[in-house]
Amino acid sequence: MLAQEIIRHKRDGLPLSPEEINHFVSGLAGDSWSDSQAAAMAMACFLRGMSQDEKVALTLAMMRSGEVLDWRSENLPGPVLDKHSTGGVGDKVSLPLAPILAACGAFVPMISGRGLGHTGGTLDKFDSIPGYRTAPSLGELRTALRSAGCAIIGQTAQLAPADRRLYAIRDVTGTVESIPLITASILSKKLAAGLQGLVMDVKTGNGAFAAEMTMASELAQSLVEVAVGAGLPTRAWITDMNQVLGWSCGNALEMHEALALLKGEAAEPRLLEVTRTLCAELLGIGGLVASLEDGLQQVDRALASGAALERFARMVSALGGPVDFIERAAHYLPAAPVVRPLIAKRGGWVSQMATRDIGLLLIEMGAGRRQSTDRIDYRTGLSAVRGVGERVEPGEPIAMIHAADEASAELAEARLCRLIGLSEEAVPARPVLLARLGNGV
């Protein structure tokens, strides 16, 4: 087969055969397809879409492009579970979720990604921890999982290598929002991780890839159907991304916020609600609880007892991070040299956020990448971000800006004034949990 002929078939709207899809995926993994050919194929899939059969074939081919883990020989005393988010600004749910689940008896080999488009990446947050290995060997992954019950890592060289290459190409070619490619990218990694249960957090709103509820529903349905068709029990929640999730956005700042939640010091209500709900769903899928209410109670006990925090500490240490990271996080996490408030010039209620534009601003500040080879400044971002529906008095901060220098801080201040709106009338807080897909407890 010729790569250009396969591209032409999809460009012209013809369905691809499993053989053609396998040729494409083998070319990604073995480099027989050039970056330009892979980019053309991604754009053809984006513009023409893919049928359910094509999505299943692509997902399974990408899963089989590397090693597929099988945890049965490990005799783990609990189910192997995971969660995935389609991405947003300030979305740090994975950081507390994995250790909470581990504290409740599950095992979580979480294969995460880096920032994609305007959204932040879980791995970038962990890269802010000195020594933490986001690309361990499979042996190290197994050791960490046994020690801590959870391991948040990136794709190893052995797991779904075709997706790793396509992921980077999508980030810089305007094809991030393709539902077939999102479905195959997410599920190929999850299937390769040997999971027994999965919950999807599908974001919708002005800070999500699926800006409209219609697209979010289509994506959630695609993910659930393809996953279940491949034998992986899966449920999905559609959640709101019309504002920053939590109080912070930016890698080290989000790590601080996640630690505060695990320590029981403070938790932004929307972030806590999403985290608790997704954990409870997974505990139900894994057969560890009989109902969602039971699951929520288990989550609360894991947080209140400190068991979840302990699991997080074990994970960091097992993957090369400091053994005293929890106690000395402020020492280890980098801090920006310039911190200044965004002051409200008048009083009012926070009425809206241009969330995607906030994500793009973070990239300009260094917290994300313009190109896949760019280095990230883990110090930069925003903290103490006021949520929609909150009252702000004149002279109070709407957010704190953490910047690498004065020029970057001034840019952020000028831009944020236009991206966070204030209303003279009271604005109701928006619900964060919007819809649930999938059957079960």
243 and 180, same structural domain? yes
d(CA 267, CA 11): 48
Q: For residues 165 and 98, state if they share a domain.
A: yes
Q: Is the CB of residue 187 less than 8 Å from the CB of residue 195?
A: no
Q: Which residues form the catalytic set? A: 82-85, 122, 170, 185, 189-190
Report yes or no: 358 and 419 within 8 Å, Cβ to Cβ: yes
Q: Which amino acid is at 337?
A: P
Is residue 149 included in any domain, yes or no?
A: yes
Burial of 11 (0-12, 13-18, 19+ CB in 10 A): middle
CB-CB contact of 157 with 139 (8 Å): no
**Residue 437 within a domain:** no
One domain for residues 107 and 229: yes
Structural contact between residues 431 and 388, judged by C-beta atoms closer than 8 angstroms: no
> Are 232 and 340 within one domain?
no
**DSSP H helix total and E strand total for the chain:** 17, 12
Element (H, E) at 421: strand 420-423
d(CA 44, CA 48): 6
Same domain, 342 and 393: yes
441: pLDDT strictly greater than 70: no
Q: pLDDT tens across 230-270, in order?
A: 889 999 999 999 999 999 999 999 999 999 999 999 899 99
pLDDT of residue 371: 67
pLDDT digit string, tens, across residues 65-114: 998 988 988 889 999 999 999 889 999 999 999 999 999 999 999 988 77
pLDDT at 116: 61
More confident residue, 159 or 2: 2
322 close to 131: Cβ distance less than 8 angstroms:
yes
What residues make up the domain containing 299?
74-329
Q: Are 302 and 165 part of one and the same domain?
A: yes
Do 209 and 135 share a structural domain? yes
Please give the Cα distance from 16 to 210 (Å, whole number).
Answer: 25
Mean pLDDT calculated for residue range 314-337: 97
Burial (0-12, 13-18, 19+ Cβ within 10 Å), 221: middle
Cβ burial of 373 (10 Å; 0-12, 13-18, 19+) is exposed
Same domain, 262 and 401: no
CA 298 to chain centre: 23
Count of the separate structural domains present in the chain: 3
Mark whether 109 and 209 lie in a shared domain.
Answer: yes
Q: What is the amino acid identity at position 427?
A: V
Mean of the per-residue pLDDT values of the chain: 93
Q: Residue 400: helix, strand or coil by DSSP?
A: strand
Q: Is the pLDDT of residue 171 over 80?
A: no
CA distance 33 to 22: 12
| Cα dist from 426 to 297, 305, 332, 401, 422, whole Å | 33, 38, 41, 25, 10
3-state secondary structure of 130: coil
Of 329, 346, 372, the domain-final residue: 329
Domain CATH number, residue 253: 3.40.1030.10
- pLDDT score at 310: 98
Angle between helices 269-285 and 94-103 (to 10 degrees): 40
Positive or negative: CA dihedral 50, 53, 55, 60: negative
Q: What is the CATH number of the domain that holds 356?
A: 3.90.1170.30
344 and 256: one domain? Answer: no
pTM beyond 0.85: the answer is yes
Does some domain include residue 433?
no
- Note the pLDDT of residue 237: 98
Residue 50 CA to its chain's centroid (Å): 24
Residue 195 lies in a domain: yes
Q: pLDDT tens for residues 108-167? A: 999 887 766 677 789 999 999 999 999 988 889 899 999 999 999 987 777 889 998 998
Q: Report d(CA 370, CA 296) in Å as an integer.
A: 39
pLDDT for the residue 440: 54
Banded model confidence at residue 372, pLDDT cuts 50, 70, 90: low
Q: For position 373, what pLDDT does the model report?
A: 67
Query: In this structure, are 259 and 343 located in the same domain?
Result: no
Asked whether residue 35 falls in the same domain as residue 138, the answer is no
Q: How many residues does the chain have?
A: 441
Which of 313, 329, 345 is where one domain is finished? Answer: 329
